[in-house]
Structures are given as C-alpha cells and as structure tokens.
Amino acid sequence: MTGTDIPELDPVIHAQARLRVVSALSVMREADRIAFPRLQETLRMTAGNLSVHLRKLEDAGYVEVTKTHHGRTPMTLVRLTRRGRLAFDDYTAALRALLNPSEES
C-alpha cells in the first residue's frame, strides 16, 4: 500500500457512539428491527444521546426509524438499512486495510 492508497473512514460511522449503534444493528438480520429502549439498554446510552446519533445515521440513510403503536403504547423501532450495511462493510474493510496495510484484499 502506498501513501495514496490510504482508505478513508466514513465520518458518519466513525464517531464512537454511531460506530457502536451500527455495530449492534449489523448483527441483526436485514429485516429485523429493535425497539428503541432495548437498543438504548444494550448500548447503555441515554435516550437523548441515542436519539441524536440515530438522527445522524438516519439522515445518511444508514438506519430506518419507524414510529408505531403497540396497542396504545407508542413504539420506536430501529433497523440498519441495506445502505447502512454496505457502509459498515466498507468501513470495516477500510479499517482492516489501515491496520494491516501489507495484506492484499
């Protein structure tokens, strides 16, 4: 790898909190959704902090946030989009290339 081959890391995913969100969502099947409180609990983030980072990921098209109701109770569901999965795959490949520059892809 030469100096010009240094891969760029996606700045939307690279922020620590957003990397944690995308990483947690990436282990789910593509069609699966997780309830906001469960994601919040899993990541040990405050509701406000998680909301801010989900908004950035949603604006980039990486996550889909769906607001619905379960009976009379409002529910927010989150899933990683196909675009988000591809971006995460590209991010992890770029990170691997940075960490192991002598390995060829």
**Alpha carbon distance 35, 87 (integer Å):** 22
Provide the terminal-to-terminal Cα distance of the chain, rounded to the nearest Å.
Answer: 11
Phi, psi of 77 (to 5 degrees): -115, 145
* C-beta contacts of 37-44 below 8 A and 24+ residues apart: 39/78, 43/17
Q: Which domains does the chain have, with CATH numbers?
A: 7-94 (1.10.10.10)
Q: Report pLDDT for 1.
A: 46
Q: Report pLDDT for 61.
A: 98
Average of per-residue pLDDT across 33-58: 98
pLDDT level of residue 22 (50, 70, 90 thresholds):
very high
Strand 63-70 to strand 34-35: parallel, antiparallel, or no bridges (unpaired)?
Answer: unpaired
Average of per-residue pLDDT across 74-90: 97
